[in-house]
Amino acid sequence: MRQAGRYMEDYRKLRAQFSFLDLCKRPDLATEITVTPVERLGVDAAILFADILLVLEPMGVGLEYAKSDGPKIHRPVRTGVDVDRLVDFNPQEELSYVFDAVRKICAALNGKVPLIGFAGAPFTLASYLIEGGGSRDYRHTKQLIYSDRGAWHALMERLARLLASYLNGQIAAGAQVVQLFDSWVGCMAPEDYRDYVFPYTRLTIASITPGIPVIHFSTGTAGLLKLLREAGGNVIGIDWRVNLDQAWQKIGYDVGIQGNLDPVALYAPSPEIRRRVENILRRAAGRPGHIFNLGHGVLPETPVEHVIEMVRAVHELSMR
């Protein structure tokens, strides 16, 4: 998660020369940023360098990646009229720069490791559109659900169809796995998830090119695990707030599981990192279908050496 990012000097150098959007939109740069950490860290898969909000840009909502504050949507969607006003576009055309990057990355990786494509899930994208950025309480998102259910369902269905098309474009361009990031869905009560999120996550996943494994990721969802699994995905991502063995038991062993190291643990000294890796591997109990990963993205000031040591520990300890 966030293999490339501010914690890497190579990335910071590029970021000083180019805007974040330029890095995403220029396939040569996106390729360099995707491939470099794979070599540097020794990981078993590459993840596309892109951002979950790129799909919102052609909708005409005024997406901006502000320097310090995180992403901003200048014209947030708060009513049914706002939903109707969203620009319809063909992702195969408007987001073709992502597919170009995928093709270039696959060529550069040359089959050494697979490439994971990705998109935000409908709820998480809707929450950005509605809140206009990050949020602590997702008040506006929930208010749209309470006040105009029709508008909510219309927005979520549009997003689901758009995201499936976008992911299928990445797959057609060469991505061998896709990950759906429902990063903020942990703010929802289980019944609200079932009524207002589940149908659209399921629609998205069900519309993905058959045969391509799907990783269904979220955080803060220890109370939603069964519903997440029902919504779909060959692999369910979990964060660190739940024990891996208990989560897997709840989800069922017929799907894989991804996680569950606390990203903050990478600030710890190496023996502590190794101890924590060992703990997680012990909980996975040698079952097939565990993808070792952090529970969320690498944090900005993480020492690169610690990430490398984590990868090494996973490789060494899982060989035993």
Residues binding a copy of itself (CB under 8 A): 137-139, 142-143, 146-147, 186-192, 220-224, 240-243, 246-247, 260, 262-265, 267-269, 272, 279, 299
**Active site (annotated) includes residue 182:** no
| Catalytic residue (one of 7, 11, 128, 200) | 128
**Active site (annotated) includes residue 15:** yes
Tell whether omega for the bond before 260 is within 30 degrees of 0, i.e. cis: yes
| Catalytic residue (one of 10, 15, 192, 245) | 15
CB of 96 to a copy of itself, least distance (A): 35
Spatial neighbors of 79 by CB under 8 A, at least 6 apart, are 144, 148, 151
At how many degrees (to 10) do helices 139-147 and 149-173 cross?
120
Query: Given the complex with a copy of itself, which of 52 and 167 has the nearer CB atom?
Result: 52
**Active site (annotated) includes residue 128:** yes
Query: Given the complex with a copy of itself, which of 111 and 269 has the nearer CB atom?
Result: 269
**Active site (annotated) includes residue 275:** no
Planar angle of CA 115, 49, 133, nearest 5 degrees: 130
Distance CA 131, CA 135 (A): 7
Query: Given the complex with a copy of itself, which of 16 and 146 has the nearer CB atom?
Result: 146
Token couple for 17? 């020369």
| Catalytic residue (one of 7, 11, 51, 274) | 51
CB of 201 to a copy of itself, least distance (A): 17
CB of 299 to a copy of itself, least distance (A): 6
Going by C-alpha positions, the residue among 115, 108, 212 that lies closest to residue 168 is 212
- DSSP sequence for 162-206: HHHHHHHHHHHHT-SEEEEEETTGGGS-HHHHHHHTHHHHHHHHH
CB of 258 to a copy of itself, least distance (A): 16
At how many degrees (to 10) do helices 27-41 and 304-319 cross?
60
Going by C-alpha positions, the residue among 116, 118, 113 that lies closest to residue 44 is 113
Query: Given the complex with a copy of itself, which of 133 and 263 has the nearer CB atom?
Result: 263
Query: Given the complex with a copy of itself, which of 142 and 229 has the nearer CB atom?
Result: 142
At how many degrees (to 10) do helices 96-109 and 149-173 cross?
40
**Active site (annotated) includes residue 69:** no
CB of 41 to a copy of itself, least distance (A): 21
Instruction: List active site positions.
Output: 2, 6, 15, 51, 128
